[in-house]
Structures are given as C-alpha cells and as structure tokens.
Amino acid sequence: MKSEKLTVNTGCDFFQLATLGVQGLQPYQPGKPIEELEREYGIKNVIKLASNENPLGISPRVFEAVQANLKDIARYPDGNGFALKKALAQKHSVEMDMITLGNGSNDVLELIARAFVTPEHSVVFSEHAFAVYPLVTQAISAKAIVTPAKNWGHDLTAMQAAICEDTRLIFIANPNNPTGTWVDRTSLKAFLNVVPKDVIVVIDEAYYEYAIENPDYPDSLEWLSDYPNLVTVRTFSKAYGLAGLRVGYSISHPDVANLLNRVRQPFNVNNIALIAATTALTDNEYLEKSIALNREGMQQLTQVFDEMKLQYIDSVCNFVSVEVGDGAAVYESLLCEGIIVRPIGGGYKMPQHLRVSIGTKAENEQFIKALRKVLNH
C-alpha cells in the first residue's frame, strides 16, 4: 500500500524563531559528488577535480591501521585524543595542552568564533577568502568586515586599517582558498606586530604542506611564543589524504586552547579518524609522494593554460583558479564531459574563474581534453 506524505501543521513560523544570523545564512555548497553527476547525466567514469582532495587516495599504511581497528567502532573514541595530540606535539615541538582537535579544520574555525566572538563584536577577513569565515561570523550574528583583495590575495595593510575597537577575531588563510595566493614571512610578522593583543589572529594553514616548499612562506608555529593571540589551524584533509574522515587541529597558547576545548563537543573526532591521523603522521613517504605529484600536476595544468592563453592565479596549493570567461557556463559544459571542477562565483565573487584541483596525470589529461573541447581550443 502506498503511504501518503505526512503533512504537519506546525502553527509556528520556525524561521522567525531562528537567530537573525541564521536566518540570513546560505548553506555551504560543497563540490558536486561523482554519484550525483552520474545519476543526473547518466554518464560513467567521472573525474572530480572540485574539492582539493588528494588524488593518491588513502595512504597504504593508514589503510592497514584503519582495517586493524574496525572492530572497535562500537566504542567511544578517546575524547581527549591523547595519541594524536602526543604525535602532533612531538612533530611540531609544542606542548599537548596547546592543541585542540576538530572534526576537520572547519570545526576548529567555528570553535574559535564561538569561544571569542559575540553579536557585539566584529570579525575581519579578506575578499575572496575561504567561505567558512563569513558563515561562522554570520551564524553568531557578529559583524563581518571584508577587506578588498590585492592581486587576488590578502591586503594586510587594508586588514590592519579595518581593525575596530569591537574587533575580536581576524581570519587569514595562508595560503588562501580559492585563489592559492599567500602572504610572505616578513609581511605577516609585521602585521602581527601591530595587531592589538586582545584580537585573536587565526592563520589558517590548510595547505601548509604544499606551500612550505617556498622559502619565504612562513610557518606561523614558530611565532606562537611571541604572539599569545595567534592561533594556527591545520588539517589532515589535503596532503594527508583524509578528507572523508574529517580531522583538523589548532595550536595556540594553552589558555586559548583551554577555552576552545570548553566549547568543543565531546568525541568530536571519531575513533577511526584519530587512528588514521596518528598513523598518517608516520608515513613521510606518502606525504612526499603527494607533494611531488601535486608539483608535477600543477606544472602540467599551467603549461597548458599558458598554451591556451588562459589567465590563471599563481597558486602554491593543490588547486589553481583559471579564468575562462563565463565560469558557470563552462562548468556546466564540463559536467557534460564528465568533469567536475568548482565554479567560484557567488560568495567568492569570482564568476569568470573555475577552481581546478590537481589530479593524477591521467585525470589532468582528461580535464585538459574536455576543456579544449568546451573552449574550442
């Protein structure tokens, strides 16, 4: 017997019950899943270059560790993440009480905002910066101060000028998503020197492992002892290949970490994710292979963009944003060819660009073939 759709008269406008910040939010739009494209278009062998994932897949060493511990998924994880914190503390030469674990680095970014920002405060971040910054700011009904970008990147002079008496938090993505731009060591340290001590400065280093090859790229962890208001945030989703397990972390002054852990949800990082991340830190061979593959793939794509006379933004990440004209139209045309990339109009305000993740050599070649076809090159 066919069941009828349940209709409920709530007698209440729940939208009006929500906070003003939540009422105005638009949900984060992730990259289109492969399965969704295959269902909608009836095509197979789809290539996804939309979400800055590691094309190598999971590390073999991590895969073995996960398999060995599947029997324990009926038990709660270690709520303090002791083993992972210990491994991170050893790797980065910091104390364990400086570390806060998150369900991905996005989780940590939200923890920071919730711990320090109220509707009476403002948050400073750059135009074209990571979409989570305006989301977490608006969710708590705080004031967003968005500074104009300079050559697609952060203009630290403009960000400094934007700091107000009510500013409590500054987000700096270094390097930045979706532009791939980065702030050099000298400029960032000069900025930190002038930021008031009661303003939290978050350096979001999700793509740190790819960027650190550049000699002028700063490792903000080196400055934690000099700037107690500094928080460094990193992730296992990119170079370590654990995007599906969601593990991120911050390293900060112990007093800051203590406050973040007060608002952190119990067991926010699951058992398998803890084991995978702890194991990933031991697999340097996989990490080096990931970085090398990315370097080669970046050269492969940008060389073709040069040949096609397409403008692109120099990137130190595992993606590159390329100017294609009508980004939304080219995106749709690529979908028909079985290629998923990322349009970055909308909140990012880059409607002429597409962000393309670096894939394997074969995946990159398939994307290039499709792009040439779509653009008639």
**77: domain CATH number?**
3.40.640.10
321: domain CATH number?
Answer: 3.90.1150.10
Q: Could you tell me the residue range of the domain that residue 321 belongs to? A: 26-56+285-375
The answer to whether residue 11 sits within a structural domain is no
CB 325 within 8 A of CB 291: no
The answer to whether residue 164 sits within a structural domain is yes
149 and 175 share a domain? yes
Q: What per-residue confidence (pLDDT) applies to 9?
A: 62
* Tens-binned pLDDT, residue by residue, of the chain (377 aa): 455 665 666 667 767 777 777 777 676 666 667 777 777 777 888 899 999 999 999 999 999 999 999 999 999 999 999 999 999 999 999 999 999 999 999 999 999 999 999 999 999 999 999 999 999 999 999 999 999 999 999 999 999 999 999 999 999 999 999 999 999 999 999 999 999 999 999 999 999 999 999 999 999 999 999 999 999 999 999 999 999 999 999 999 999 999 999 999 999 999 999 999 999 999 999 999 999 999 999 999 999 999 999 999 999 999 999 999 999 999 999 999 999 999 999 889 999 999 999 999 999 999 999 999 999 87
The answer to whether residue 340 sits within a structural domain is yes
Helices 34-41 and 327-336 meet at what angle, rounded to 10?
A: 70
The answer to whether residue 6 sits within a structural domain is no
50 and 122 share a domain? no
The answer to whether residue 7 sits within a structural domain is no
45 and 73 share a domain? no
122 and 156 share a domain? yes
Q: What per-residue confidence (pLDDT) applies to 4?
A: 60
130 and 261 share a domain? yes
- The answer to whether the predicted template modeling score (pTM) of the entire model surpasses 0.85 is yes
Q: What per-residue confidence (pLDDT) applies to 136?
A: 95
User: Of 280, 297, 321, which residue constitutes the final position of a domain?
Assistant: 280
- Give the Å distances, CA to CA, from 78 to 74, 156, 261: 13, 40, 14
The answer to whether residue 16 sits within a structural domain is no
CB atoms within 10 A of CB 342: 25
**Residue written as token pair 């790819």:** 210
Q: What per-residue confidence (pLDDT) applies to 17?
A: 74
- 271's tokens: 């058992």
Q: Of 135, 195, 134, 187, give the one whose Cα is nearest residue 168.
A: 195
List strands edge to edge, sheet with 167-173.
99-102, 248-252, 230-235, 200-204, 167-173, 122-126, 143-147
239 and 111 share a domain? yes
172 and 77 share a domain? yes
152 and 249 share a domain? yes
161 and 198 share a domain? yes
Q: What per-residue confidence (pLDDT) applies to 24?
A: 73
Distant-in-sequence, close-in-space partners of 242: CB < 8 Å, separation ≥ 6: 58, 62, 236, 273, 276, 277, 280
The answer to whether residue 136 sits within a structural domain is yes
The answer to whether residue 309 sits within a structural domain is yes
Provide the domain count of the chain: 2
Q: What per-residue confidence (pLDDT) applies to 28?
A: 62
User: Of 224, 248, 280, which residue constitutes the final position of a domain?
Assistant: 280
Q: What per-residue confidence (pLDDT) applies to 253?
A: 98
Q: Of 81, 32, 42, 1, give the one whose Cα is nearest residue 257.
A: 81
How far is Cα 179 from Cα 314, in angstroms, rounded to an integer?
8
Give the end-to-end CA distance of the chain in Å, rounded to a whole number.
Answer: 56
91 and 224 share a domain? yes
Q: Of 144, 115, 52, 76, give the one whose Cα is nearest residue 264.
A: 115
How far is Cα 209 from Cα 72, in angstroms, rounded to an integer?
31
How far is Cα 51 from Cα 247, in angstroms, rounded to an integer?
16
Q: What per-residue confidence (pLDDT) applies to 7?
A: 60
264 and 363 share a domain? no
237 and 291 share a domain? no
User: Of 255, 280, 305, which residue constitutes the final position of a domain?
Assistant: 280
